[in-house]
Chains A and B, each alone.
Chain A
Amino acid sequence: MLLDQYKTEDFFDEMFTEDGGIRPHYQKIADCLRSLDPAEHRGKQTAVDLAFMRSGVTFTVYNDDQGTERIFPFDLVPRVIPNNEWEKMERGLIQRITALNLFLHDIYHDQKILKDRIIPPHYILGAKHFRREFMGFNVPKDIYIHICGTDLIRDRQGNYLVLEDNLRCPSGASYMLENRAALKRAFPALYRSARVQQVDGYGAELRKVLQYVSPPSLGSTTQPNVVLLTPGVFNSAYFEHAFLARQMGIPIVEGRDLVVRDARVYMRTTTGLVPVDVIYRRIDDDFLDPTIFRPDSLLGVPGLVHAYRSGNVSLANSIGTGVADDKVVYYFVPKIIKYYLGEEPILQNVDTFLASEADDRAYILENMEKLVVKSANEAGGYGMLMGPWAPKAEVDSFREQVRANPRNFIAQHPISLSRHPTSCEDGLEGRHVDLRPYILYGEKITVTPGGLTRVALRKGSLVVNSSQGGGSKDTWVLQGDS
C-alpha cells in the first residue's frame, strides 16, 4: 500500500512527523504496510469483519431505524504507543483515579473539600448523580471506582489531555480484547516482531478486583460468588457483558435472576438459590432497585440496595460514583488532585468553561458557534453541540438550553484531535482518534497497557463515539520505545 500520498495536513499525526517522516515506533508497521498490496489488505479486512460478525462483536444504536445491532467497525492499522509515553500516561491515570476515589470518599463523608471552598458546594449537592442516601456509608476497602475508562485525546502538539472520566459503567474493554485477537490473526508475524505488551490479562485482573472487594462479613477464607448484572439483551453493550462474564468465568444475570431474602442477595438456579457476594453491575444507579430509586424500572432487583447497605453484597462500581464524572466536576479535577494528593496533575484537562459562572456563561453564549457545548450528565456523544459544524437552529436551541439551565452545561474549544492513518476507500487517510485506557482499582491500581482507540471514520469528523459513526483500532503499547 502507498504511504507516499498520505497527507498529515495541519494535524498531529500519530504515525508521521510534520515533515513526512515515519515516527520510530511506527517503523515496523510502515514497512509491513508498504509490502502489502491493496487486495491483500482488503482480504484481511474482510476476514476480520466476518470474524466479528460471526462472534457477534456488535453494539446497539438507540433511536435508529436501520435495525439496532451493528458490527463495531474495526480498522486494521494499529495505533502504537512507545513505552516511555505510556509510562507517563499510566502514572497520570493512577494519580487521577486515586484522587477521584478520595474525592468520592470525602463527598460521602466529611465533605472537607466543600468546607475548604475548593469546590462551591452547590455543584456537588445539586449534582444529578449525588446520592445523598449514601452519606456516611462505608464501601468495602474504601474503593468506589473499581473500573474506570478515561477518555484521552491529543492536541496539535501531541500532548495527551483528559477529555472525560467515565466512572459509572464504562464500556469498551471487550472491544480492546477482541481487537487484539483480530489483529494477531490478521498480522501474526508483524505482531510477534513488534514486541507489544499484552492486554489479555484484563479479564483475570477484573475478576481479582471483584473478589478483593467482597463483603468483609464473608471472611477471607471463603471464595466469594461474583456475578455480572446486565440490563439484558437490548442494552447497547450486551455483547460486552456476555463477553466479560465468559472471560472471567462468572455467571451473567438479569435482575429477574436475582432475589433478595433477609437482606442477602441470591441467584435463582436450577438447583435452588445460590448466595451472591459481589455484583459487577452494568446497570446505572437509578435502575438498580425499584424500591429505592425508580419504581417504574423492571431492570433491577427489589431489595438490592438494602442488602448493599447492610454490607451483605458489594457492588462494582459503588453507588454514587456518577457525581465525580459530572462534566462540571471534571472542571475541578486538577484542583481535586492538588487538594488530596498535594501533587500537580500529570495529565492535563481540556480548558473548560462553566455555564453556571456568570463570566464563563457570557463567553459561551457569545461564542457558541465556535465552541463544543456538552450536557453535564450525558454520555456516548448524546446531548452535545459541535458549534462550528452545527446548523444555526441547533446552536440557537442550545443557547436557550444553556440560558434556562446553566448548571447543566459546560463548553470547550474544539480540540483538533490527533489523526491516524486509517483504511478508507482510496487507501490510507488520516482520521481523528482518541484513546480510552481501562483502569482497575483493587488491591493495587492497574492500567491495562493499551485500551480502546476509537476512530471517527467519517472524513473530518471529530466524533469518535460508536453510536455516532465511530470505529476502533487495536492499541499497541510497546515494550520498548520503538
Chain B
Amino acid sequence: MILPNQAADTMSNDAPWTEPLLLSISHLTRYSYEGNVKDSFNEARLQPVTDSLQQCLEFNLHIDPETPIRDYPDFYANCVHYFDVPEAHDTLEVEAKSLVQTNPEDRWEIPLVGQERLESPSVQDHFFDFLHSSEFVSLQAEVWREAIDALPGGLTDVWKDTVTIGEHINRNYKYTPLSTNVNTRAVEVVKKKQGVCQDFAHLMLGLCRTHKIPARYVSGYFLNQHKIPGEIEASHAWIEVLIPGYGWKGYDPTHRRVPDTRYVKLAVGRDYGDIRPVGGTFRGKGTRKMIVEVSVQRLG
C-alpha cells in the first residue's frame, strides 16, 4: 500500500505506517536505594533486535556506577547484557540508547492455515514453548472460557482468527493504567476485564495458545503520538503468532492493529517473565525507588 506523503502526526491512529523510519530511543532506569547496597547482579534485555522489519544501527549501554558489561544470546536469541556492581552504591542507573531503522513489511501474502496444519507434530513440537502454559500465562479454565467466547466457532484460519481474538480483547477489556502491576497474570486480567499493554498481550497469548496457535510475547517501543489517555510511556508490549508457511506475525491488541514502522522490537519470550528489560538482585535494605524514562524520537 502506498500512502500519501503527509505529515506524520496528522495521520489517523488506525492507518498503518508504511514508510521507513529512523528512530532514536533512550531508555533510562534509575534505582535509588535507602542507604548503601552492594553485590548487585543484573541482566538487561534492552538491545533492539535486527530482523527483516528493523535494523539496530547503534546501541550503547551505560551503567553508573561504571562496570564491565558482558553479553550472551539467550534461548530465544535475545541479546542479554549482564553486569555486576559489587561495591557499595546508593543509586544504579542503566541507560540504553539505540538508533533503529524500521522497514515496512514486504513478505508474501499471509496463507490460509487451518486447524489440521496447526496440529501437525512439526508445529506442536517445534513451537512447544509458545503453545503451553508459562509463568504469566496459565492455560486454566477461566482463560479457556474466554478463548471460547472470543472464537465461538473454533479455529478456521490462523491469521483471521488471531485478529478476531485481538479485537475481542480490545473491545471487551478496558485500557486502565495502574489497574494492574508488572506481576499480574493473564487469569487475573480475565477477572478484572482491564489492564495495560502487558496484560492485553498476556491475555492474548493465553487465548491464542488455547486455540493451539503458537504465540509469543514481544517487548519493545512504540513511537506514540496519539497516547491513550493515561498512557505514559513509549515502552510497549504486543504479541506474535506463528503462521505455518509464513513465519511470525505481530499483532498489538492494545491498539487493535498489526505493528508497523512505528514499532521497535526488543526481545521475544514465552511471556514478560522471560524478558524483563532490567532485573537482578542486590544485598541491602529492600526499599528502593525506581524511575523509568523512555523516549522514542523520530529522526527521519
Interface, chain A (partner B; CB < 8 A): 114, 121-122, 125-126, 132-133, 135, 259-263, 290-291, 295, 302-303, 306, 309-310
Residues of A within 8 A of B70 (CB): 263, 306, 310
Residues of A within 8 A of B41 (CB): 260, 291, 302-303, 306
A291 touches B281 (CB 8 A): yes
Interface, chain B (partner A; CB < 8 A): 39, 41-43, 68, 70, 72, 74-75, 82, 84, 86, 124-125, 128-129, 132, 279-281
A122 touches B124 (CB 8 A): yes
Q: With CB as the reference atom, state the residue of chain B lying closest to A256.
A: B283
Residues of B within 8 A of A259 (CB): 39, 86
> Shortest beta-carbon distance, B294 to chain A, in Å?
24
Task: Sort A-B residue pairs by CB-CB distance and give the 3 closest, nearest first.
Answer: A121-B125, A125-B128, A302-B41
Residues of B within 8 A of A132 (CB): 75, 129
> Shortest beta-carbon distance, A296 to chain B, in Å?
10
A133 touches B128 (CB 8 A): no
Pairs across A and B, CB under 8 Å, 14 listed: A121-B125, A126-B132, A132-B129, A133-B74, A133-B75, A260-B84, A261-B86, A291-B42, A291-B43, A291-B280, A295-B281, A303-B41, A306-B70, A310-B70
Q: With CB as the reference atom, state the residue of chain B lying closest to A297.
A: B281
> Shortest beta-carbon distance, B66 to chain A, in Å?
13
Residues of A within 8 A of B281 (CB): 290-291, 295, 302
Residues of A within 8 A of B39 (CB): 259, 302
Task: Provide the bound-state CA to CA distance between A135 and B74, in Å.
Answer: 9
Residues of B within 8 A of A302 (CB): 39, 41, 84, 281
Query: Among the interface residues A135, A259, A290, A302, which one has the most CB atoms of the partner chain B within 10 A?
Result: A302
Task: Provide the bound-state CA to CA distance between A126 and B134, in Å.
Answer: 10
Residues of A within 8 A of B132 (CB): 126
> Shortest beta-carbon distance, A132 to chain B, in Å?
5
> Shortest beta-carbon distance, A258 to chain B, in Å?
11
> Shortest beta-carbon distance, A187 to chain B, in Å?
53
**Contact status of A303 and B129, CB under 8 A, knowing A133-B75, A291-B42, A309-B72:** no
Residues of B within 8 A of A310 (CB): 70
A303 touches B128 (CB 8 A): no
Residues of B within 8 A of A114 (CB): 125
Task: Provide the bound-state CA to CA distance between A122 and B281, in Å.
Answer: 33
A125 touches B280 (CB 8 A): no
Residues of A within 8 A of B280 (CB): 291
Question: Other CB < 8 Å A-B pairs besides A126-B128, A259-B86, A303-B41, 7 of them?
Answer: A122-B124, A122-B125, A262-B84, A263-B82, A302-B39, A302-B84, A310-B70
Task: Provide the bound-state CA to CA distance between A193 and B148, in Å.
Answer: 76
A303 touches B125 (CB 8 A): no
Task: Provide the bound-state CA to CA distance between A126 and B129, in Å.
Answer: 8
Task: Provide the bound-state CA to CA distance between A310 and B39, in Å.
Answer: 19
> Shortest beta-carbon distance, B100 to chain A, in Å?
27
Residues of B within 8 A of A121 (CB): 125, 128
Task: Provide the bound-state CA to CA distance between A126 and B125, in Å.
Answer: 10
Task: Provide the bound-state CA to CA distance between A306 and B41, in Å.
Answer: 10
> Shortest beta-carbon distance, B106 to chain A, in Å?
31
Task: Provide the bound-state CA to CA distance between A259 and B47, in Å.
Answer: 28
Task: Provide the bound-state CA to CA distance between A262 and B41, in Å.
Answer: 10
Task: Provide the bound-state CA to CA distance between A178 and B72, in Å.
Answer: 45
Q: With CB as the reference atom, state the residue of chain A lying closest to B128.
A: A125
A122 touches B128 (CB 8 A): yes
**Contact status of A135 and B75, CB under 8 A, knowing A302-B281, A306-B70:** yes
> Shortest beta-carbon distance, A455 to chain B, in Å?
42
A125 touches B129 (CB 8 A): yes
Residues of B within 8 A of A133 (CB): 74-75
> Shortest beta-carbon distance, A183 to chain B, in Å?
47
Task: Provide the bound-state CA to CA distance between A121 and B84, in Å.
Answer: 37
Residues of A within 8 A of B68 (CB): 262
Task: Provide the bound-state CA to CA distance between A295 and B129, in Å.
Answer: 22
Q: With CB as the reference atom, state the residue of chain A lying closest to B42.
A: A291
Task: Provide the bound-state CA to CA distance between A295 and B132, in Å.
Answer: 23
> Shortest beta-carbon distance, A480 to chain B, in Å?
52
Query: Among the interface residues B39, B86, B129, B281, which one has the most CB atoms of the partner chain A within 10 A?
Result: B281
Task: Provide the bound-state CA to CA distance between A310 and B83, in Å.
Answer: 13
Task: Provide the bound-state CA to CA distance between A73 and B193, in Å.
Answer: 59
Task: Provide the bound-state CA to CA distance between A310 and B68, in Å.
Answer: 14
> Shortest beta-carbon distance, A176 to chain B, in Å?
38
Residues of A within 8 A of B125 (CB): 114, 121-122, 125
Task: Provide the bound-state CA to CA distance between A452 and B280, in Å.
Answer: 42
> Shortest beta-carbon distance, A282 to chain B, in Å?
22
Query: Among the interface residues A125, A132, A291, which one has the most CB atoms of the partner chain B within 10 A?
Result: A291
Task: Provide the bound-state CA to CA distance between A252 and B279, in Å.
Answer: 30
Query: Among the interface residues B75, B124, B125, which one has the most CB atoms of the partner chain A within 10 A?
Result: B125
> Shortest beta-carbon distance, A310 to chain B, in Å?
7
Residues of A within 8 A of B129 (CB): 125, 132
Task: Provide the bound-state CA to CA distance between A306 and B132, in Å.
Answer: 28
Residues of B within 8 A of A295 (CB): 281
Residues of B within 8 A of A263 (CB): 70, 82
Residues of B within 8 A of A126 (CB): 128, 132
Task: Provide the bound-state CA to CA distance between A396 and B41, in Å.
Answer: 47
Residues of B within 8 A of A306 (CB): 41, 70, 82
> Shortest beta-carbon distance, A283 to chain B, in Å?
16
Q: Say which residue of A125, A135, A303, A309 sits within 8 Å of B84 (CB atoms).
A: A303
> Shortest beta-carbon distance, A293 to chain B, in Å?
11
Task: Provide the bound-state CA to CA distance between A415 and B84, in Å.
Answer: 53
Q: With CB as the reference atom, state the residue of chain B lying closest to A290.
A: B281
Residues of B within 8 A of A125 (CB): 125, 128-129
Residues of B within 8 A of A291 (CB): 41-43, 279-281
Q: With CB as the reference atom, state the residue of chain B lying closest to A132.
A: B75
Task: Provide the bound-state CA to CA distance between A51 and B86, in Å.
Answer: 46
Task: Provide the bound-state CA to CA distance between A95 and B39, in Å.
Answer: 44
Task: Provide the bound-state CA to CA distance between A66 and B129, in Å.
Answer: 44
Task: Provide the bound-state CA to CA distance between A262 and B124, in Å.
Answer: 40
Task: Provide the bound-state CA to CA distance between A291 and B84, in Å.
Answer: 11
Q: With CB as the reference atom, state the residue of chain A lying closest to B270.
A: A132
